[in-house]
Structure 1
Amino acid sequence: MIPYGRQDIGDEDIRAVLDVLKSDFLTQGPVVPRFEAAVAGQCGAAHAVAANSATSALHIACMALGLGPGDRLWTVPNTFVASANVGVYCGAEVDFVDIDPATYLMCPARLAEKLDRAEREGTLPKVVIPVHFAGQSCDMAAIGDLARRYGFRVIEDASHAIGARHRDRPVGDCAHSDICVFSFHPVKIITTAEGGLATTNDPGLAQRMELARSHGVTRDPALMDKSSEGGWYYQMVTLGYNYRMTEMQAALGLSQMDRLADFVARRNTLADRYDAMLDGLPLVRPVLGPANLSAWHLYPIQVEDRARVFGQLRASGIGVNVHYIPVHTQPFWQARGFGPGDFPVAEAYYARAISIPLYFGLTEADQDRVVEALRDAL
């Protein structure tokens, strides 16, 4: 079976993890800060805060921005459920903005229309989470302009997009957002097994995220309400969680960062080859937005009779998948008042969507096999 995505682990990665296992620290050691610095440096951001998953990073990002009961968070229905769930974790109301039919990303025009209505009704969001689906950036300049006009905060869900660029700037530099979150799940561009990270240029937000990921506990005298009682002393100054990344995860991620450019370049080569090989077939290929360099986490196509095509490809040994079932159609969200028909563009995309295999180690022979099976299925 050719999977739709998989990690690429080299000898250097294995040695990096073994070095940590032989060291004095398996957690809360020196490697996590080195990994954070490497990602911040690649993105051109001032700060980076690593966590044990991208979901955790999204949660502490919302916490750092003060999202809570009575507030509203907006995201897109074309995403994994975590992008919306973090709003519920904070006690906020969650709503969605439909996607652009060409790029499958948050549509700035629909966002502007929804914001205009919300302003009149007194229901503006506190936080908006655009999702860089499949590896390419949303139009962050347009979304940033709307944030300044309407006064909401922005968290980029860049779980798919480390190494991507928008208008010749790296995703994660937070030029048009408050915080940007990456995922390092094994099928992503680089991996830490499980893991996530948030970048920001705001030192206050970074400090609040660091507290939130580690029980709200600090040894920093500047954050305490009285003098330290000794070298053992700490204080819990806010409510937090145990969302820390381990040293082993960070070591793997730090090693993988050395190959980030190669990973992204290879994925772009494979995507270009798919573009050429699939030209003329009865399907819709993915489209890049203006001035975007995608990290190409996914190569999503649209086909008629999706269930039959999906089944035939799987039977042929092609491990296709579907990204994503619209969040608002899930039972949990239907119980909160959403349902089919609410966001028709995302629903129409989902009804025809298939993600075909794309990953660093995919060979051209494997890619030929994918395309041949797809031709047969179509």
Structure 2
Amino acid sequence: MIPYGRQDITQADIDAVIEVLESEFLTQGPKVPAFEQAIASKVGASYGVAVNSATSALHIACLALGLGPGDWLWTSPITFVASANCALYCGAQVDFVDIDPCSYNLDPSALEAKLVVAEREGRLPKIVVPVHLSGQPCDMQAIYALAMRYGFKIIEDASHAIGGKYRGEYVGNCRYSDITVFSFHPVKIITAGEGGVATTNDRVLAERMALSRSHGITRDPALMTQVPDGSWYYQQICLGFNYRMTELQAALGISQLKRLDSYIERRHEIAREYEGAFRGLPIVTPVQCSDGYSAYHLYVIRLQLESISLSHKEVFEALRRCGVGVNLHYIPVHIQPYYQKMGYGFGDFPEAEKYYREAISLPMYATLTSEQQTLVVRAVKSAIRLPS
């Protein structure tokens, strides 16, 4: 089975992890701050805060921005559930903004229309979380302009977008946001085994996130309420969590980061091959927005079902039978049973639901070979009953 995504572990990665295993630190050593600095420097941000997952990063980002009971967080319905769940962890409420039918990202026009109504009703969001789906950057300039007008904070969910660019600069520099979150799950562009990093240009936000990831504990006398009793002294000054990244994860991440640009270049080569192979077929291939340079974490096609004799499900299952490990990113969050209990349901966000009925994620990873990609293309043509 050709998977839709997979990690690439080299001998250099293995050596980096072994070096940590043979060192004095497995956690809370020098590698984690080195990884934080490496990520921040790469994307052009002032600070990086490493944690054990992107979900944890979203949570502490919300906490750092003061999200709590009575507040609202808005995000895209086409995302992994963590983009919305992070608000619920804080006791806040969640709402969604429908997607742009071309980019599949949160639609700034739909956001503006919803903000107009929310302002009139007195329930503007405290935080908006644009999700760079598949690595395609959102229209952050437009979203930022709305933030300035309506007073909400922005967390970029860039779990798919490390190495992507917006307006010629790396995603994660926080030019148009307060905080950006990256994921290093094994199927992502680079991996730390697991883990996440939140970047920001605000020192106070970075300090708050650093406290939240480790039980709210500090050893910094400047943050304490009294003079330390001795060199052993620490204080818990807020409620935090055990969200720390290990030295092993950080070492792997540092090693992988060195290959980020080459991975992105290879993904673009694969995307161009798919684009050429599917030209003229009843398939919609991903759009490259003029302001963005996609990281191509995913390669999502949409089936033009009115021109195909099979259903979405039948094409998906035919591809699996051909040995192509396709997936679907994502089931709209608002139709998940947990969110339906909150009052959401089918018909609420029609563009997201239409996307769900047509989307399939094809294999996309840096080590996908030309031979494997040829097999994928043949399988797609066979599945939609066209000559290869």
Q: Could you tell me which runs of 5 or more consecutive residues in structure 2 were left unpaired when the two chains were aligned.
A: 306-310
Give the aligned partner of residue 326 of structure 1. 332
Shift of 1:288: 1.7
Amino acid at match of 2:284: V
Quick one: distance in 2 between partners of 1:193 and 1:143? 32
RMSD of the TM alignment (CA)? 0.5
Question: Which is worse superposed, 299-308 or 197-206?
Answer: 299-308
Amino acid at match of 1:307: K
Give the aligned partner of residue 154 of structure 1. 154
Residues 143-199 of structure 1: CA deviation (Å, up to 9, x unaligned): 000001000000000000000001101100000000000000011010011100000
Question: Which is worse superposed, 334-343 or 281-290?
Answer: 281-290
Give the aligned partner of residue 375 of structure 1. 381
Shift of 1:99: 0.2
Quick one: distance in 2 between partners of 1:74 and 1:290? 25
Amino acid at match of 1:255: S
1:310 pairs, out of 313, 316, 323, with: 316
Give the aligned partner of residue 78 of structure 1. 78
Identity %: 61
User: Does 2:56 match 1:44?
Assistant: no
Give the aligned partner of residue 308 of structure 2. none
Amino acid at match of 2:350: P
Q: What SS does the aligned partner of 1:49 have?
A: strand
Q: What SS does the aligned partner of 1:191 have?
A: coil
Give the aligned partner of residue 129 of structure 1. 129
User: Could you state the TM-score of these two structures normalised by the residue count of structure 1?
Assistant: 1.00
Moved beyond 4 Å, runs of 4+: none
Matches within 5 A, 1:269-280: 269-280=269-280
Matches within 5 A, 1:10-25: 10-25=10-25
Give the aligned partner of residue 110 of structure 1. 110
Amino acid at match of 1:246: T
Amino acid at match of 1:253: G
Quick one: distance in 2 between partners of 1:281 and 1:24? 57
Give the aligned partner of residue 254 of structure 1. 254
Matches within 5 A, 1:207-286: 207-286=207-286
Give the aligned partner of residue 337 of structure 1. 343
Shift of 1:69: 0.1
Residues 192-245 of structure 1: CA deviation (Å, up to 9, x unaligned): 111000000000000000000000000000100000001111000000000000
Give the aligned partner of residue 205 of structure 2. 205
Shift of 1:284: 1.0
User: Could you state the TM-score of these two structures normalised by the residue count of structure 2?
Assistant: 0.97
Quick one: distance in 1 between partners of 2:298 and 2:356? 14
Shift of 1:275: 0.6
Q: Could you tell me which runs of 5 or more consecutive residues in structure 1 were left unpaired when the two chains were aligned.
A: none
Q: What SS does the aligned partner of 1:301 have?
A: strand
Shift of 1:68: 0.1
Quick one: distance in 2 between partners of 1:11 and 1:280? 42
Amino acid at match of 2:382: D
How many residues align? The count is 378
